[in-house]
Amino acid sequence: MTNKTISRRRFLKTVSGASIAAAGFPYFVPACALGQARTTGRAAPSGRIVIGCIGVGGQGTSNMNAFMNNPDTQVVAVCDVERGRAAYRGSTFGREPAKQLVEKYYANQKGSGTYKGCAAYSDFRELLARKDIDAVSVCTPDHWHGLISIAAARAGKDIYCEKPLANTVFEGRVIADTVKRYGRILQTGTHERSNDSVRFACELVRNGRIGKLQTISINLPCDEPHHAEIIKNAGPQPEMPVAEGFDYDFWLGPTPDEPYTERRCHFWWRFILHYGGGEMTDRGADIIDIAQLGNGTDSSGPVEITAKGKRLPKGLYDVFMEYEFEFKYANGVQMVGKSEGTRGLKFEGDKGWIFIHIHGGRLEAEPESLLKEVIGPNELHLGRSPGHQRNWLDCVKSRSEPIAPAEVGHRTGTICHLTNIALLTEKPIKWDPKAERVTNNTEADMMLTRPMRNPWYL
Amino acid sequence: MKGVKMRRLRIIQTVLLIVWCLSIFAGNSWGQVKPDELAKIEQAVPAKATVQSAKPRKLLVFNLCNGFKHSSIPYWDKALEIMGAKSGVYSVVVSSDMAMFKPENLNQFDAVCLNNTTRLQFDESLRKSLMDFVKGGKGIVGIHAATDNFYEWPEAAEMMGGQFAGHPWGGGGTWAIKIDEPNHPLMAAFKGKGFKIQDEIYRTKPPLYSRTKQRVLMSLDMSDGPTRSAEGVTPEDMDTGISWVKSYDKGRIFYCALGHDHAVTWNPAVLQHFLDGIQFVFGDYKVDTKPKPLVISGKGSEMDELFAKIKTYDWGQSRAPLSEVSELIRKAHTSPEQLKQMEKNLLEALVVADATDAGKQFVCRELSIIGTEQSVPALGAMLTDEKMSDMARYALERIPGAAVDEALRNALGKTSGKTKVGIINSLGQRRDSKAVSALGGLVGDSDQMVAGAALGALGQIADAQATKVLADAKGKVTGKLQLVALDAYLKCADKLVAEGEKDQALAIYKELYKENQPKPIRTAALRGIVSLTKKEEK
């Protein structure tokens, strides 16, 4: 690599930067381009990754703050179909509150001279059309992940997409294919994967320190206050006029037209199968993601899935709140899970076990001495992450593969969706991870994809 | 925190139970029916039997409880005794001694009545004795808790046709009952009209309880709000039987779930129902015991009633009836004939003029999974209706077969705007090669949305003809449509790579890598070139 003093920004904008990523060679930004960062704490405008944040509810605003807290980023636009209003979380979430947050942040920063203010859009397509934006975050409800990520890739933007990557198996496949086609860097928001202790635990497993891996036990309970809230308000919800400032039809997007009720939308959507997959995708995506890492099956999946569970029968929320599931992998490993116990996963081998607490990543092991072991120089190393959002930003610059790229996010999401399908059909599923089809049940195979309301298509 | 709460609850429950028991003892010594109550029973008992007995009959009224002991037991003891005497049909022996089941003791009786017995323990020889008794041509009358038995004796649980699995419908509540067989002789007492009653109702626990194994005479009416939404009711409870009859080898079973509340024992209709049932078990009252499965066609069947609920379902109502239908459909999945019938019923609910939108949407979601060519005419007709088109496509898009593609293509020319866009999208999603000509004609449409959708759909289909159309169109479209056309064309190139047509693909990538193309497209094209040339280097 020649050490040309080329501005990182111009480099990224040229074709060759992206193609080198496609060919698999990393490129490191010359220090001089970031020289200004050392004196003012912020990178020169040309050294910054320009970001637009699509979806600024709870998680979206938190991610947005995390992105801003880096010397080499600049958030210039936010987008949300919710304008922000007093009745919704006291005006803390939505595009207007987010815009104000961004502008306030940069007003307090030195070296922001050229900052022109943050735009607030309600239509993500307008944000994607901006030529100055390099990268976007997608923190919308699950049913929008596919359409926005694909459009972003086609518009030449890099993407940080919240988990689960997609709302159906087919959607995940299209996202991964489109990201590959356009040479984009996508990070799935499974931030636990960036946790030091998680990576260490998986190294111990992959290097045989617990012997031969036999079982991975998953505890995915629905025992938090928001679950209790759902169970308490399990009845049908009344129709109401759409809240002023909220573009409900756009929010629905590709999902069927159903009347507005407040408890359908912000935050609670995750308990309705049109828009999300319940706890199975909410925290299941994190936990199963780590299980895949520990099992070494990141680009594959199980071959058999069985599950049974219970749903709330009467009201709006039709996801599974109680469940038991079991996956069998071709390498002989069995993964079992239930909606009980301390949230986390346990890798069990014939010489010991390791339990990873979620969230936080605290480890327990038998024998305890495992936690003090050192992975040798000739053994498999999984690397460490500077933090999930930071890792994405680094990869946007270096064009190397992030910790949780699209294919990994897709494969993890697939397992979550297959479990939900197994729960719905109450029949075991035989899965071909290569062809990505269900081989023993046409009903389940039909459910890998879902039709979209006009005018949306993948 | 959960554990502590549960423990506290248990303690409170136990204390309340003790207090309650004490109050019972204080106010009313267990085992004694008060004189005024006795009078009510005597008043309520039927004056005469419905049919003649072949001979004087003898009924063993058995009331041993190893589990919960119902306070209504002495009331039933009395009611059965008085009923037999007044009608002259039978005399009773009341007992709680398991020795009564020994063959030499049992064979003097014509039937056994399990009066709220719980957790009876039958050893090997007593089991044989009871089975011989029933199978040989006699029978069992079960009252209420009679299903709280036979946990270790599956054959007997199966014989009874149900087993206790909780009671969401508690004794203090009033529940609605519907008459499934208004014309059945044993239902004469109720004169064909559903009713409400204060009593405790047990769950029946399928598959022990099944309309394919017993003739269900009446069941809980889930169209009644309180009954359907009692605490703990699940979709599996939608069919909860109250009374049923069963032929078991040469013998007979009659069971009625009523009988927890004392007042039931002086309810005239219920008592008459029991007397008729007892006469049936004796063999004197010959009635039809043929099971009627839920899945049959024809007016007035269970299935029709169930599907009728879909037509009136609206947003903001409990999802329970829909869950029930989904449950039925799911269970039918291994039987093509049953599925075909379900599909037919769903379609009926769909085409009815006054069916709600909410109901129709549910139908379309189900048809999306189980639909066949049978559904195409009805769904196809909906495609041109602006309001219904999305719903119809939700169903059609996943139904396999050429008939669907044809219906979509036919609707293409008859629609415009967003409706048309939806149909184009579905054709693309289905990879319908036969639509390529029509789609090609739309890439120049004055409606940008339509033109864009057509380009996108061609990219999905990406066959040789579509590739040609796109190669031509990409140079002609302008503005935002340019990127859409180029993305579609790229997809064609990617498909060619997958099919092994490397030269053709490389030609397209090289074309798209030219200086004048938009940057994202050039990026993708270069990636394509690099990936192909890398492979060749190997």
Ordered by start, the domain boundaries in chain A are: 8-192, 196-380+407-446
Question: Which among A181, A446, A455 is the nearest to B398, CB-wise?
Answer: A446
Angle, CA of A57, A269 and A121, to the nearest 5°: 35
- What residues of chain A score a pLDDT lower than 70? 1-45, 110-114
Provide the pLDDT for residue A357.
96
Which DSSP category does B119 fall into?
S
Provide the pLDDT for residue B70.
95
In a mutagenesis test of the A interface, which of B6, B234, B315, B357 is the best target, namely the one with the most A β-carbons within 10 Å?
B315
Chain position carrying tokens 């979209």? A452
Kindly state whether B389 is in contact with chain A, defined as any CB-CB distance less than 8 angstroms.
Answer: yes
Residue B142 belongs to what H/E stretch? strand B139-143
Provide the pLDDT for residue B214.
93
**Closest chain B residue to A13, measured at CA:** B519
> Strand pairing partners for A307?
A325
Provide the pLDDT for residue B332.
78
Which residues in A lie closer than 8 A to residue B490 (C-beta atoms)?
A: 181
Rounded-to-integer distance, Cα B107 and Cα B109, Å: 5
The helix/strand/coil state of A102 is helix
Three-state secondary structure along A206-252? HCCCCCCEEEEEEECCCCCHHHHHHHHCCCCCCCCCCCCCECHHHHH
Question: Inter-chain contact B526–A22, Cβ cutoff 8 Å?
Answer: yes
Give the strand pairing for A158-161 and A135-138. parallel
Q: What is the DSSP string of A293-342?
A: HHHT-TT---SEEEEEEEE--SSS--SEEEEEEEEE-TTS-EEEEES-SS
Kindly state whether A249 is in contact with chain B, defined as any CB-CB distance less than 8 angstroms.
Answer: no
Judge whether A23 and B534 are in contact, CB under 8 Å: yes
Judge whether B141 and B277 are in contact, CB under 8 Å: yes
Cα atoms found within 13 Å of the Cα of residue B272, Cβ hemisphere only: 17
Instruction: Provide the mean pLDDT of chain B.
Output: 90
pLDDT category at B5 given cuts 50, 70, 90 is low
Rounded-to-integer distance, Cα A286 and Cα A163, Å: 8
Q: Which of residues 142-181 of A touch B (CB under 8 A)?
A: 154-156, 177, 180-181
Q: Mean pLDDT across the stretch B458-477? A: 96
Question: Which among B2, B320, B368 is the nearest to A313, CB-wise?
Answer: B320
Strands ordered across the beta sheet of A73-79: A119-121, A73-79, A49-54, A135-138, A158-161, A186-188
The amino acid that residue A200 corresponds to is F
| Model confidence pLDDT, tens digit, residues B348-396 | 888 877 788 899 999 999 999 889 999 999 999 999 999 999 999 999 9
Provide the pLDDT for residue A113.
59
Question: Inter-chain contact A256–B391, Cβ cutoff 8 Å?
Answer: yes
Kindly state whether B317 is in contact with chain A, defined as any CB-CB distance less than 8 angstroms.
Answer: yes
Rounded-to-integer distance, Cα B242 and Cα B255, Å: 8
Provide the pLDDT for residue B538.
44
Which residues in B lie closer than 8 A to residue A458 (C-beta atoms)?
A: 429
Judge whether B350 and B363 are in contact, CB under 8 Å: yes
Query: Which residues, at least 6 apart from B128, have a Cβ–Cβ distance to it below 8 Å?
Result: none
CATH number attached to the domain at A196-380+407-446: 3.30.360.10
Judge whether B427 and B415 are in contact, CB under 8 Å: no
pLDDT category at B330 given cuts 50, 70, 90 is confident
Rounded-to-integer distance, Cα B200 and Cα A175, Å: 55
Q: Mean pLDDT across the stretch B467-493? A: 95
Rounded-to-integer distance, Cα A267 and Cα A39, Å: 41
Q: Kindly state the tokens that stand for A244.
A: 């002023």
Question: What is the separation of C-alpha A79 from the centre of its chain, rounded to a whole number of angstroms?
Answer: 18
Judge whether B211 and B239 are in contact, CB under 8 Å: yes
Question: Inter-chain contact B527–A446, Cβ cutoff 8 Å?
Answer: no
Provide the pLDDT for residue A90.
80
Among candidate residues B90, B144, B130, the one with its CA nearest the CA of residue B276: B90
pLDDT category at B20 given cuts 50, 70, 90 is low
Judge whether B265 and B128 are in contact, CB under 8 Å: no
Q: Which of residues 256-275 of A touch B (CB under 8 A)?
A: 256-259, 261
Judge whether A325 and A438 are in contact, CB under 8 Å: no
Provide the pLDDT for residue B28.
45
Question: Inter-chain contact A19–B526, Cβ cutoff 8 Å?
Answer: yes
Provide the pLDDT for residue B233.
84
Angle, CA of B4, B9 and B15, to the nearest 5°: 130
Which DSSP category does B97 fall into?
-
Over pLDDT 70: what percentage of chain A? 89
Give the strand pairing for A73-79 and A49-54. parallel
**Closest chain B residue to A453, measured at CA:** B390
Question: Which among A23, A314, A456 is the nearest to B318, CB-wise?
Answer: A314
> Strand pairing partners for A217?
A336, A346
Question: Which among B393, B483, B531 is the nearest to A154, CB-wise?
Answer: B483
CATH number attached to the domain at A8-192: 3.40.50.720
Rounded-to-integer distance, Cα A98 and Cα A121, Å: 11
Strands ordered across the beta sheet of B241-248: B90-95, B57-62, B111-115, B139-143, B251-256, B241-248, B215-220, B174-179, B195-198
Provide the pLDDT for residue B333.
72
Domain B34-282 has CATH 3.40.50.880: yes
The CB density around residue B154, as the number of other CB atoms within 10 Å, is: 11
In a mutagenesis test of the A interface, which of B526, B535, B536 is the best target, namely the one with the most A β-carbons within 10 Å?
B526
Instruction: Provide the mean pLDDT of chain A.
Output: 89
C-alpha distance from A62 to closest chain B C-alpha (Å): 29
> Strand pairing partners for A177?
none
Q: Kindly state the tokens that stand for A256.
A: 């069927």
**E strand residue ranges, B185-317:** 195-198, 215-220, 241-248, 251-256
Which residues in B lie closer than 8 A to residue A236 (C-beta atoms)?
A: 315-319
**Closest chain B residue to A131, measured at CA:** B519
- Output B506 or A114, whichever has higher pLDDT: B506
Provide the pLDDT for residue A111.
59
Provide the pLDDT for residue B378.
92
Alpha-carbon distances, residue B457 vs B124, B141, B256, B388, B420 (angstroms): 71, 67, 61, 22, 12
Judge whether A127 and A77 are in contact, CB under 8 Å: yes
Kindly state whether B535 is in contact with chain A, defined as any CB-CB distance less than 8 angstroms.
Answer: no
Rounded-to-integer distance, Cα A167 and Cα A142, Å: 5
Question: Inter-chain contact B421–A455, Cβ cutoff 8 Å?
Answer: yes
> Strand pairing partners for B244?
B216, B255
Contacts 24+ apart (CB under 8 A), B390-393: B390/A256, B390/A257, B390/A453, B390/A454, B390/B422, B391/A256, B391/B360, B391/B361, B391/B364, B392/B364, B393/A451, B393/A454, B393/B422, B393/B423, B393/B426
Instruction: Report the complex ipTM.
Output: 0.84
Provide the pLDDT for residue A35.
38
Which residues in B lie closer than 8 A to residue A425 (C-beta atoms)?
A: 330, 333
pLDDT category at B22 given cuts 50, 70, 90 is low
Rounded-to-integer distance, Cα A155 and Cα A405, Å: 18
Which pTM value belongs to this model? 0.69
Q: Kindly state the tokens that stand for B466.
A: 């579509």
**Closest chain A residue to B370, measured at CA:** A443
